[in-house]
Amino acid sequence: MEKKSIVVVLGLIENKKGEVLVSLRNDPRFPEAHLKWDFVGGKNEMGESLEETLRRETREESGLEIEIKEFLPKSICKNWELPGYFQHTLIFCYTCKAISGELKTQDPKIKELRWMKKEDVLKLDLLFSAREYLEMDI
> Residues 92-123: pLDDT tens digits?
999 999 999 999 988 899 999 999 999 999 99
* Structural domains of the chain, with CATH: 2-137 (3.90.79.10)
- Percentage of residues in the chain with pLDDT exceeding 70? 99
Does the pLDDT at position 138 exceed 70? Answer: no
Q: How far apart are CA 126 and CA 99, in angstroms?
A: 25
DSSP count for the chain of H helices, then E strands: 3, 8
Burial class (CB within 10 angstroms; exposed 0-12, middle 13-18, buried 19+) of 50: middle
CA–CA separation, 86 and 106 (whole Å): 28
Q: How far apart are CA 82 and CA 39, in angstroms?
A: 22
CA distance 87 to 115: 30
